[in-house]
Amino acid sequence: MTRTQYFTATSIDGFIADPDNSLDWLLALRQSEEGEQEYPAFIAEVGAIAMGSTTYQWVLDHEELLEEPGTWPYEQPTWVFTSRDLPAVPGADIRFVSGDVAPVHAQMVEAAAGKNVWLVGGGELVGQFADVGLLDEIILGVGSVFLGGGAPLLPRRLTPPRLRLISATPDGEDFVTLRYAVGPPASG
Protein backbone atom coordinates (compact mmCIF):
# COMPACT_ATOMS: atom_id res chain seq x y z
CA MET A 1 0.00 0.00 0.00
CA THR A 2 1.32 3.42 -0.95
CA ARG A 3 2.33 5.63 1.97
CA THR A 4 2.94 9.36 1.75
CA GLN A 5 6.09 10.15 3.71
CA TYR A 6 7.90 13.29 4.80
CA PHE A 7 11.57 12.22 5.01
CA THR A 8 13.84 15.10 5.93
CA ALA A 9 16.55 16.41 8.20
CA THR A 10 15.89 19.08 10.79
CA SER A 11 17.70 21.08 13.43
CA ILE A 12 16.81 20.51 17.09
CA ASP A 13 14.79 23.74 17.04
CA GLY A 14 12.74 22.63 14.03
CA PHE A 15 14.26 24.19 10.92
CA ILE A 16 15.05 22.39 7.66
CA ALA A 17 17.19 25.23 6.28
CA ASP A 18 18.88 28.21 7.91
CA PRO A 19 17.72 31.84 7.44
CA ASP A 20 19.76 32.03 4.19
CA ASN A 21 18.01 28.87 2.89
CA SER A 22 21.30 27.01 3.23
CA LEU A 23 21.87 23.38 4.20
CA ASP A 24 25.55 23.87 4.99
CA TRP A 25 24.74 23.09 8.65
CA LEU A 26 23.42 19.67 7.61
CA LEU A 27 26.30 18.80 5.31
CA ALA A 28 28.77 19.45 8.15
CA LEU A 29 27.20 16.88 10.52
CA ARG A 30 28.40 13.31 10.95
CA GLN A 31 26.11 10.34 10.40
CA SER A 32 26.73 6.67 11.12
CA GLU A 33 27.43 4.22 8.29
CA GLU A 34 24.06 2.58 8.98
CA GLY A 35 22.36 5.97 8.75
CA GLU A 36 24.04 6.69 5.45
CA GLN A 37 22.52 3.45 4.13
CA GLU A 38 19.00 4.50 5.19
CA TYR A 39 18.50 6.86 2.24
CA PRO A 40 19.26 4.29 -0.51
CA ALA A 41 16.81 1.85 1.12
CA PHE A 42 14.22 4.63 1.48
CA ILE A 43 14.48 5.94 -2.10
CA ALA A 44 14.23 2.40 -3.53
CA GLU A 45 10.67 2.28 -2.16
CA VAL A 46 9.68 5.70 -3.58
CA GLY A 47 7.61 5.84 -6.78
CA ALA A 48 6.77 9.57 -6.90
CA ILE A 49 8.17 12.77 -5.40
CA ALA A 50 6.70 16.18 -4.49
CA MET A 51 8.57 19.32 -3.56
CA GLY A 52 7.99 23.03 -3.31
CA SER A 53 9.61 25.61 -5.54
CA THR A 54 12.23 26.66 -2.97
CA THR A 55 13.36 23.06 -2.52
CA TYR A 56 13.45 22.59 -6.29
CA GLN A 57 15.51 25.76 -6.71
CA TRP A 58 17.92 24.52 -4.00
CA VAL A 59 18.38 21.20 -5.85
CA LEU A 60 18.97 23.07 -9.13
CA ASP A 61 21.58 25.31 -7.51
CA HIS A 62 23.25 22.68 -5.31
CA GLU A 63 23.57 20.14 -8.12
CA GLU A 64 24.44 22.89 -10.65
CA LEU A 65 21.79 21.45 -12.95
CA LEU A 66 21.44 24.50 -15.12
CA GLU A 67 25.16 24.46 -15.84
CA GLU A 68 25.31 20.66 -16.37
CA PRO A 69 21.85 19.45 -17.44
CA GLY A 70 21.01 15.77 -17.39
CA THR A 71 22.10 15.01 -13.84
CA TRP A 72 18.71 15.26 -12.10
CA PRO A 73 19.17 13.15 -8.96
CA TYR A 74 15.81 11.33 -9.08
CA GLU A 75 14.51 8.65 -11.42
CA GLN A 76 10.98 9.02 -10.10
CA PRO A 77 8.45 11.45 -11.58
CA THR A 78 8.63 14.67 -9.58
CA TRP A 79 5.85 17.19 -9.00
CA VAL A 80 7.02 20.72 -8.18
CA PHE A 81 4.37 22.87 -6.52
CA THR A 82 4.97 26.45 -7.57
CA SER A 83 3.31 29.74 -8.41
CA ARG A 84 6.29 30.99 -10.44
CA ASP A 85 8.01 30.02 -13.66
CA LEU A 86 10.98 27.74 -13.06
CA PRO A 87 13.44 26.20 -15.49
CA ALA A 88 13.01 22.52 -16.29
CA VAL A 89 15.88 20.04 -16.28
CA PRO A 90 16.15 18.48 -19.76
CA GLY A 91 15.35 14.76 -19.72
CA ALA A 92 13.93 14.78 -16.19
CA ASP A 93 10.30 13.83 -15.48
CA ILE A 94 9.36 17.06 -13.68
CA ARG A 95 5.78 18.30 -13.58
CA PHE A 96 5.10 21.87 -12.46
CA VAL A 97 1.76 22.24 -10.66
CA SER A 98 -0.09 24.65 -8.41
CA GLY A 99 -3.22 24.71 -6.31
CA ASP A 100 -4.90 22.02 -4.24
CA VAL A 101 -2.63 19.11 -3.31
CA ALA A 102 -5.41 16.47 -3.22
CA PRO A 103 -5.93 15.94 -6.98
CA VAL A 104 -2.18 16.05 -7.58
CA HIS A 105 -1.68 13.49 -4.81
CA ALA A 106 -4.05 11.13 -6.63
CA GLN A 107 -1.90 11.46 -9.77
CA MET A 108 1.23 10.83 -7.72
CA VAL A 109 -0.19 7.69 -6.10
CA GLU A 110 -1.15 6.37 -9.53
CA ALA A 111 2.33 7.10 -10.91
CA ALA A 112 3.97 5.52 -7.84
CA ALA A 113 2.40 2.17 -8.85
CA GLY A 114 2.34 0.71 -5.36
CA LYS A 115 5.50 2.40 -4.12
CA ASN A 116 5.55 5.34 -1.70
CA VAL A 117 5.18 9.08 -2.29
CA TRP A 118 8.00 11.20 -0.86
CA LEU A 119 7.24 14.75 0.20
CA VAL A 120 10.71 16.27 0.08
CA GLY A 121 9.70 19.69 1.43
CA GLY A 122 9.29 22.41 2.33
CA GLY A 123 7.34 22.39 5.50
CA GLU A 124 4.42 24.50 4.26
CA LEU A 125 3.83 22.15 1.33
CA VAL A 126 3.96 19.12 3.63
CA GLY A 127 1.52 20.93 5.92
CA GLN A 128 -0.96 21.21 3.06
CA PHE A 129 -0.85 17.43 2.62
CA ALA A 130 -1.29 16.96 6.38
CA ASP A 131 -4.24 19.38 6.44
CA VAL A 132 -6.24 17.15 4.07
CA GLY A 133 -5.18 13.83 5.61
CA LEU A 134 -2.66 12.88 2.91
CA LEU A 135 0.41 12.44 5.13
CA ASP A 136 1.01 8.98 6.60
CA GLU A 137 4.50 9.12 8.08
CA ILE A 138 7.19 11.58 9.14
CA ILE A 139 10.82 10.40 9.21
CA LEU A 140 13.15 12.97 10.75
CA GLY A 141 16.91 12.99 10.97
CA VAL A 142 17.37 15.43 13.84
CA GLY A 143 20.82 17.00 13.66
CA SER A 144 22.71 18.22 16.72
CA VAL A 145 22.42 21.90 15.91
CA PHE A 146 20.23 24.86 16.80
CA LEU A 147 19.73 27.27 13.90
CA GLY A 148 17.69 29.94 15.68
CA GLY A 149 15.56 30.55 12.59
CA GLY A 150 15.03 29.57 8.98
CA ALA A 151 12.60 27.40 7.04
CA PRO A 152 10.27 25.65 9.51
CA LEU A 153 10.05 21.86 9.56
CA LEU A 154 6.24 21.77 9.58
CA PRO A 155 4.35 24.96 10.40
CA ARG A 156 1.27 23.10 11.66
CA ARG A 157 -0.02 21.90 14.98
CA LEU A 158 0.03 18.08 15.01
CA THR A 159 -0.45 16.42 18.38
CA PRO A 160 -1.28 12.97 19.76
CA PRO A 161 -3.36 10.98 19.06
CA ARG A 162 -2.97 12.08 15.43
CA LEU A 163 0.83 12.03 15.73
CA ARG A 164 2.30 8.82 17.19
CA LEU A 165 5.99 8.11 17.79
CA ILE A 166 7.01 4.80 16.19
CA SER A 167 10.76 4.83 16.94
CA ALA A 168 13.72 6.93 18.05
CA THR A 169 17.14 5.66 16.96
CA PRO A 170 20.54 7.27 17.61
CA ASP A 171 22.47 7.68 14.37
CA GLY A 172 26.15 8.46 14.78
CA GLU A 173 27.52 11.36 16.78
CA ASP A 174 25.25 14.08 15.40
CA PHE A 175 21.85 12.57 14.58
CA VAL A 176 18.84 10.77 15.93
CA THR A 177 16.17 9.39 13.60
CA LEU A 178 12.56 9.83 14.72
CA ARG A 179 9.68 8.05 12.98
CA TYR A 180 6.08 9.13 13.47
CA ALA A 181 2.81 7.75 12.16
CA VAL A 182 0.37 10.49 11.17
CA GLY A 183 -3.35 9.83 11.43
CA PRO A 184 -6.18 11.66 9.69
CA PRO A 185 -7.30 15.11 10.85
CA ALA A 186 -10.08 15.19 13.41
CA SER A 187 -13.46 15.52 11.76
CA GLY A 188 -15.40 18.45 12.92
The closest alpha carbon to 150, from 19, 55, 25, belongs to 19
- Which CATH number, 3.30.360.10, 3.40.430.10, 3.30.70.3150, 3.40.50.1100, labels domain 4-171? 3.40.430.10
Q: What is the pLDDT of residues 41-82, one digit of tens each?
A: 999 999 999 999 999 999 998 888 888 766 789 999 999 999
| Domain extent listing, the chain | 4-171
φ, ψ for residue 85 (rounded to 5)? -80, 130
Cα–Cα distances (Å) from 141 to 1, 111, 171, 175, in that order, read 24, 27, 8, 6
**CA gap 13, 22 in Å, rounded:** 16
pTM, rounded to two decimals: 0.93
Residue-by-residue pLDDT tens, the chain, 188 positions = 999 999 999 999 999 999 998 899 998 887 777 767 788 999 999 999 999 999 999 999 888 888 876 678 999 999 999 999 999 998 899 999 999 999 999 999 999 999 999 999 999 999 999 999 999 999 999 999 999 999 999 999 999 999 999 999 988 889 999 999 999 998 76
Distance, first Cα to last Cα, the chain: 27
